[in-house]
Amino acid sequence: MTSTRYGKAAALIVPLFVVAALAGGCSGKVGVGENVVDQADLETGVATQLEETVGQAPASVSCEDDLVAEVDAEVRCTVTSDDGSEIGATVTVDSVDDTDVQYSIQVDES
| Backbone Cα Rg of the chain | 15
What would the pLDDT profile of 76-94 be if each residue is shown by its tens digit?
Answer: 999 999 999 999 999 999 9
Average pLDDT over residues 53-77: 94
β-sheet bridge partners, residue 105: 91
> pTM of the entire structure?
0.74
Q: Tell me the C-alpha distance between 43 and 71, whole Å.
A: 19
